[in-house]
Amino acid sequence: MNYYESKDLGKFADVGKFRKELMDSFFSYYGAATGTDGALSKREKSLIGLAIAHFQQCPYCIDAYTQQCLETGANPDQMTEAIHVAAALAAGMTLVHGVQMQNIMEKHGAL
Amino acid sequence: MNTELLTVPVFRFENALDRHALQLKPLSVETLQVNITKLCNQACRHCHVDASPKRTEQMDKRTVERCLEILAQHSSITTLDLTGGAPELNPYFDDFVREARALGKRVMVRHNLTVTFDGNPQTGESKAYLPEFFAQQRVEVISSLPYYQEFFTDKQRGLGVFRKSIDGIRLLNEYGYGKPETGLVLNLVYNPVGPFLPAAQASLEADYKQELWERFGLLFNNLYTITNMPIHRFKEALERSGGYEEYMEKLVNAFNPAAAEGVMCRSLVSVGYDGRLYDCDFNQMLDMQITTGINGSQRHRTIFDFDFDEILNRTIAFASHCYGCTAGAGSSCGGATA
């Protein structure tokens, strides 16, 4: 058995085998937040989802949101830009902590 | 015993119809869709006809004339929809179009945009006259352009096809196609590059119009989104990649009763190059010929024994590929159905 199997995504709803009402609430919220056109189009939401899927490195989400991007008409340029946004933010989040590094250095008289 | 066979799920279309208490009976015969050749200058990755430059099947003159007779006899059949292959590569194509137009029929040609430049791959005959001919005959041109960018289009239809298609649309625009004031209709067809459902037709049409106009100065009328049908070349590709079951499950899960109500087989009859009759072009490629009559007197139908009332009262033949027409917003030769 592998920890990640692509077919396991289809068993997602089985998590609701116990305390079903909690999973039902989640799916209802999830569908409303990601699966409909609103102030953001479904395609824009799919691109945000794709970026987060990569940031969190969730294989299920990368699979689902790559397909959802294609099924909402996104193109490879848009999808690639979305994951660059995620990558740039991840790099920025690392680098901005350099301020803390410098604060500590300063505190200890090293800067 | 081959246990592997036992584990393959059966995607029975009738299960979905039963579940939703749907009975899909023919409503009319408005369109005669005639597949007049399997010869094509292209060999696309998703072609359900398996058309290519090597195919030799051609509708003969006698069968073309019989189709024209049927069109003349039945005023309720308002549309002739010519497909292939590249239908322009049938030797009787021009006459077929002229005579159907003379009968007052709306004529649609499923034109691949590149045959104008490539010509006949077997004889070398030029097809450069086609845009002018289409405009003179006022045929409705319907052309596949899988995406408004080069990458997805060439991936699916072959290297260089996108650029050539852009040139083809430009030529059609020059003859007035796609311009509202001329009434000459050019519709484009989108289909997904892989085992995905098509994007929403209206939003994708807006993208196509914006991109093709801004980048190339091109015009067209409508975009039709079509689902990739899991038969022949596309099915083989899915099986090679191990994705057939997953794609079928996607189609089955996306079954939409409203899309099912609008399936094209309810208002269309498909004619093969040899005159055999089918419920649609997909059934044609699977040899699921129209059968009429009851126990003991059942007969496969051809254009030569075309009986309008029997055709209208036939039972449409369904199989697992029909889930392709009923998934999501639906799919037909005229795009989404729901």
DSSP lists the bridge partners of residue B39 as B52
Please tell me the distance from the alpha carbon of residue B300 to that of residue B291, in angstroms, as a whole number.
4
> How many other CB atoms are found less than 10 A from the CB of residue B270?
25
Strands B268-271 and B277-278: antiparallel
Whether the per-residue pLDDT at A103 is higher than 90: the answer is yes
Q: Which residue of A has its CA nearest to B149?
A: A75
Torsional sign, CA B108, B114, B120, B121: negative
pLDDT at res. B4: 44
Percent above pLDDT 70 for chain A:
100
**In b/e form, how buried is each residue of B234-253, taking b as 16+ CB within 10 angstroms?**
bbebbeeeeebeebbebbbe
Please tell me the distance from the alpha carbon of residue B1 to that of residue B258, in angstroms, as a whole number.
41
Contact indicator for B255, B323 with CB cutoff of 8 Å: yes
Q: How many CB pairs under 8 A join A and B?
A: 32
ipTM over 0.90: no
- Inter-chain touch B198–A76, beta carbons under 8 Å: no
Contact indicator for B318, B325 with CB cutoff of 8 Å: no
Of the pLDDT bands very low, low, confident and very high (cuts 50, 70, 90), residue A7 is: confident
pLDDT at res. B8: 53
Q: Which residue has the tokens 């484009």?
A: B188
Region B3-326: CATH code: 3.20.20.70
pTM score, two decimals?
A: 0.88
Residue among A36, A62, A52 at smallest CA distance from A89: A52
What is the 8-class DSSP label of residue A3?
S
Domain coordinates in residue numbering, chain B: 3-326
B199 touching chain A per CB within 8 A: yes
Q: Cα angle at B221 between B218 and B226, to 5 degrees?
A: 105
Of the pLDDT bands very low, low, confident and very high (cuts 50, 70, 90), residue A1 is: confident
pLDDT at res. B286: 94
A41 touching chain B per CB within 8 A: yes
Contact indicator for A44, A69 with CB cutoff of 8 Å: no
Segments of chain B with pLDDT less than 50:
1-7
Whether the per-residue pLDDT at A8 is higher than 60: the answer is yes
pLDDT at res. B334: 79
Tell how many helices (H) and how many strands (E) occur in chain A.
Answer: 5, 0
B207 touching chain A per CB within 8 A: yes
B194 touching chain A per CB within 8 A: yes
pLDDT at res. B3: 45
What is the 8-class DSSP label of residue A73?
T
